[in-house]
Amino acid sequence: MLKIGFIGFGKMGLIRAEAVENSGLAEICSIFELKKIPLKYEKFRVNSKESIFKSNQIDAIFICVPNKFNEEYTLEALKNSKHVFCEKPPAFSSIGVERIINAENSSKKKVMYGFNHRHHESIIKINQLVKSKQYGNLLWMRGRYGKSVDVKFFDTWRAKKEIAGGGILLDQGIHMLDLFLMLGGDFDHVLADVSNLYWKLDIEDNVFAIYKNTNSGVVASLHSTMTQWRHLFSLEVFLEKGYLVLNGLKTSSGTYGEETLSIAKNRTTAPEATWEDEERLIFHNNTSWDREVKSFLKSIITDSKIEIGTTKQAYNVMRLVDLTYKKGAINE
C-alpha cells in the first residue's frame, strides 16, 4: 500500500482522499490543512507541510491548495523525492512548468496534474471516435464552459489575482483547452479577447478565443465565462463525415445538467440534417475522480508512464494560456 500525504484538504482534497480510499492501492497517512476537516480525517492531521515533505514514510503527495502554491509545493515535493499529484493550473505560466519538468527529470519521480475532464467516460468516447477516423478527419471544435458567481466570490481566493493567477480561463477554460489539445494536436495561432466587463476585477470574467493548428487546419473556438447565469458545458466536434456533441457534464457541483453525447454520421448528405439520425448516449455517473487517482497510483506501483495529466501536457496547455492572455490582454 502506498503511503499518501495531503497538503490542502478543502473540497478538492476531500474528493481526492475519497478516490484514494476507493482505489484500494494506497492509504492516507498525513494531512496538512489550516481549516476544519471532516472528523474521520482528523487523526491524520499534522502541524506542518514540512513534516509531509520530509517524511520518509510518504510515497506520494497530493497538492490541493490555491493556485499560487502549486509550482512551489510541487518543486519542494520533488526535491524531497516524492511523487506528486497536483491540481491545475500547474503554475502561473509555461515557464513555471519548465522548472517542474526539469525537477521531475532530476528526481525520477512521477508528476500528474488534475486535468480531470479527460477521465469522463463521455470524453473518452469522443477521443476514441476521433482517433479511430471512422468519421474522417477532424475539421473544427467549439467549446463553451461557463458558470455564474455572486458577490460572495469577492471573498474567495479565486477573486484575487496574486493568489489565483488569473480568472475564468485558469479556473475552467483550461480544461477545455486541454480537451482541444487532446483532440486537435498542437495549436500555434491564437486570436483572443479577454475582458472583465461585468465583475470589474483584475482577473477576467470572459474569454473569447480562436485557436488554429496551421499544420492540419483544425480550428477551435473557446468561450470561457463567469457570466453564464445558467451553468453550461458544451463541446462540439465536427468531422468530415459526422459530428460529436457533448452537452452537460457530471461534476461535483451537479449544476451542469445531464451529460449527453450526440453522435451523427454522414451529415454531409443534402439537404439537411435530421435529429432522428443521431445516436444519443447519456452518462449517468461520474467515475472520473476514481479513474484519475487510480491511474496515478498504478503508474507508481507499476513504474509505468503517466498517460493523462503529464507535465508535457501541462506545459502545452499553459503555453496556450500564455498566448491567450498575451493576445487578449485586458484594456489593451
> DSSP for 130-146?
HHHTTT-SEEEEEEEEE
Q: Which residues are bridge partners to 110 per DSSP?
A: none
Is 80 exceeded by the pLDDT of residue 326?
yes
Which region among 46-50, 178-182, 268-272, 302-306 has the lowest average model confidence (pLDDT)?
Answer: 268-272
* Mean pLDDT rounded to a whole number for the chain: 95
Which amino acid appears at position 178 of this protein? D
Read off the pLDDT of each residue in 292-312 and give the average, rounded to a whole number. Answer: 98
Is 80 exceeded by the pLDDT of residue 250?
yes
SS3 235: strand
Read off the pLDDT of each residue in 165-192 and give the average, rounded to a whole number. Answer: 97
Give the C-alpha separation, 28 to 51, whole Å. 14
pLDDT digits (tens, 9 = 90+) for 215-236: 999 999 999 999 999 999 999 9
Q: Band of the pLDDT at 332, cuts 50, 70, 90? A: very low
The pTM of this model reads 0.95
CB 7 within 8 A of CB 32: yes
Eight-class DSSP state of 152: G
- As a whole-number percent, the residues of the chain with pLDDT over 70 amount to 96
Q: Which residues are bridge partners to 6 per DSSP?
A: 31, 62
DSSP states of 200-213 as a string? Answer: --SS-SEEEEEEE-
pLDDT digits (tens, 9 = 90+) for 145-160: 999 999 999 999 999 9
Is 60 exceeded by the pLDDT of residue 163?
yes
CB 194 within 8 A of CB 326: no
Is 80 exceeded by the pLDDT of residue 138?
yes
Read off the pLDDT of each residue in 308-327 and give the average, rounded to a whole number. Answer: 97
Q: What is the pLDDT of residue 265?
A: 80
Tell me, letter by letter, the H, E, C secondary structure of 93-106. Answer: CHHHHHHHHHHHHH
Hey, do 2-116+290-306 and 117-286+317-327 end up sharing a CATH topology, with the first three levels equal? Answer: no
CATH numeric code, 2-116+290-306: 3.40.50.720
Is 70 exceeded by the pLDDT of residue 330?
no
Provide CB contacts within 8 A for 116, sequence distance 6+: 175, 288, 289, 292
Burial of residue 55 (CB within 10 Å: 0-12, 13-18, 19+) is middle
Q: Band of the pLDDT at 277, cuts 50, 70, 90? A: confident
Q: Which is more confident, 267 or 130? A: 130
* Sign of the alpha-carbon torsion through 126, 128, 134, 138: positive
Give the C-alpha separation, 129 to 139, whole Å. 14
**∠ CA(192), CA(198), CA(203), 5° rounding?**
60
DSSP states of 60-119 as a string? Answer: EEEE-S-GGGHHHHHHHHHHTT-EEEEPSPSSSSHHHHHHHHHHHHHHT--EEE--GGGG
Preceding omega of 38 cis (within 30 degrees of 0)? no
Give the C-alpha separation, 152 to 291, whole Å. 33
The domain segmentation of the chain, as residue ranges, is 2-116+290-306, 117-286+317-327
Q: Band of the pLDDT at 113, cuts 50, 70, 90? A: very high
- Architecture of domain 117-286+317-327 in this structure: 2-Layer Sandwich (3.30)
Q: What is the pLDDT of residue 6?
A: 98
Read off the pLDDT of each residue in 169-198 and give the average, rounded to a whole number. Answer: 97
Give the C-alpha separation, 233 to 159, whole Å. 22
Q: What is the pLDDT of residue 253?
A: 83
